Amino acid sequence: MTEMTPRERWLALLEGRSADRIPTDYQATPEVTERLLRELNCPDEEALYRRLHIDARRFVEPKWKRPHFPGDPEADMWGVRYCWADYGCGQYQEPAYHPLAAAETVDDIHAHAWPDPDDFDYDVITEALERDDGIRPIHAGHYEPFLLYGYMRGLERALEDLMIRPEIADAILGHLLDFYWEHHRRIFEAGRGRIDTTWVAEDLGTQHGPLMSLETYRRFLLPGQIKMAELARRYGVHVMYHTDGAAYQFLPDLVDRVGIEVLNPIQWRCPGMERERLVADFGDRLVFHGSIDNQQTLAFGSVQDVVAEVRESVEIYHPARWICAPCHNIQPVTPTENILAMYETIHELGSA
């Protein structure tokens, strides 16, 4: 088979065809990426991807034209402020101010300064894709409303709303859906047929079980996900879905009703997410993305452990379609040799 480009490999799997080898992807904290660039003497991320044979996507997005959130230069466009949290070997941002925390009524929700798609420049997407060389798949858009809901409201109050203040939940989720539907429509229009994938996402699982009941998911989140997936398909954009944790109970709805095509990240040590089970139940309808464990194997295993997990995954996913990648961000505690072992092993085995 003729050697494919990264985009050709992704599209082959998404269209149910065979690729010349198992595609790969990359996800890591900034600290890890900086370390790899330095240690592997790569001038930029594109060079790193070529060095490790990574079929990473290219991301495009519109430009927000406002200088800051109205009346609060420290907040993002939703009115959320963040602070840096240090965990010893790196930093991450977490919400420090929730602009809807004190909202008591639906009118309070409507009165918030919600972002407007008119505040974005979508031409930058068209311009970027006109310059693109076509080698890598293009990704645009990310719809994950309840994550953002928790940032704006506070996670505890957000979960309470679903149970005891459904009118508040409907109002917030309604605003988010209205914005993102039009926002993504303009993104896809600007892409002019060159956008390959988008995220319709929501973390539905914890490490040990579902984050919410199936009934709650169907009541509050499923309808919006269906609409966003239908919008993507209207423009020929393939739907990727991200959920952490033990989310098996939601998969039939996601596959049959939302129509997701790619499932990420496959935390296979969580109950119900065993690789063999997923392949048996959904292997004919899904592309599996991720799966190499970043919590134990990559972070704390040996090189031999990493090689063994990649080999095992190749065998398990053999009847299905799989994009090999870490199951979430590679963490700074992960040894460089383990990262190299993952990509070198899949490059060796994936071409066999």
Model confidence pLDDT, tens digit, residues 68-118 = 999 999 999 999 999 999 988 889 999 999 999 999 999 999 999 999 999
Q: Supply the pLDDT for residue 257.
A: 98
DSSP string for residues in 95-155: EEE-TTTT--SHHHHHHS----GGGEE-HHHHHHHHH--S-S-EEEEEE-HHHHHHHHH-H
Cα–Cα distance measured from residue 166 to residue 216, given in angstroms and rounded to the nearest whole number: 10
Residue 193's pLDDT band (cuts 50, 70, 90): very high
Q: Is the peptide bond before 265 cis (omega within 30 degrees of 0)?
A: yes
CA pair distance 106, 128, nearest whole angstrom: 40
Give the H/E segment covering residue 292: strand 287-292
Confidence at 5, pLDDT banded by 50, 70, 90: very high
Residue 326 has pLDDT above 80, yes or no: yes
pTM recorded for the entire structure: 0.96
DSSP state string for 295-324? TTHHHHS-HHHHHHHHHHHHHHTTTSEEEE
The CATH code for residues 58-238 is 3.20.20.210
Question: How many Cβ atoms from other residues are within 10 Å of residue 199's Cβ?
Answer: 19
Which of 279, 284, 289, 298 has the alpha carbon at shortest distance from 339? 298
What is the Rg, in whole angstroms, of the alpha carbon atoms belonging to the chain?
20
pLDDT at residue 352 in the model: 59
Residue range 261-277: mean pLDDT, rounded: 98
Average pLDDT rounded to a whole number, residues 164-172: 98
Please write the tens of the pLDDT for every residue from 112-153.
999 999 999 999 999 999 999 999 999 999 999 999 999 999
Q: Where are the domains of the chain?
A: 1-57+265-352, 58-238
